[in-house]
């Protein structure tokens, strides 16, 4: 399972889902292969509240990734529910 945080570098550094890798949404198509070798690997994508993750998901699907899903509620819900944040 791969977790991609597609927010800005500053947002990522301020706190992210533990184990997440940073790939800005606008670079998902070109940089994903550096992080995720297999197009069949499960990938979870999130941003602050949705729009950037939806774009990244579409770009990843276009790049050939077949198992891409969005983190329910994105980072906003993660923090609100009291989940651990990594810095």
Digits of tens for pLDDT over the chain (87 positions)?
Answer: 999 999 999 999 999 999 999 999 999 999 998 999 899 999 999 999 999 999 999 999 999 999 999 999 999 999 999 999 999
**With contact defined as beta carbons under 8 Å apart, do 16 and 86 qualify?**
yes
Q: Which residue carries 């941003």 as its tokens? A: 47
Can you tell me the distance from the alpha carbon of 86 to that of 45, in angstroms, rounded to the nearest whole number? 16
User: What SS3 state is found at 4?
Assistant: strand
Domains of the chain are: 2-80 (3.40.250.10)
Q: Which pTM value belongs to this model?
A: 0.94
State the alpha helices, DSSP H only, in the chain: 9-14, 28-35, 51-62, 74-80
Structure tokens at 33: 């292969």
């Amino acid at each position: 399972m791969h977790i991609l945080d597609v927010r800005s570098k500053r947002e990522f550094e301020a706190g992210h889902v533990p184990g997440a890798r940073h790939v800005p949404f606008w670079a998902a198509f070109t940089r994903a292969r550096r992080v995720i070798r297999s197009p069949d690997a499960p990938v979870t994508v999130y941003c602050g509240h949705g729009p950037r993750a939806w774009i990244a998901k579409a770009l990843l699907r276009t790049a050939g990734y077949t198992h891409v899903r969005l983190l329910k509620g994105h980072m906003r819900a993660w923090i609100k529910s009291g989940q651990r944040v990594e810095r």
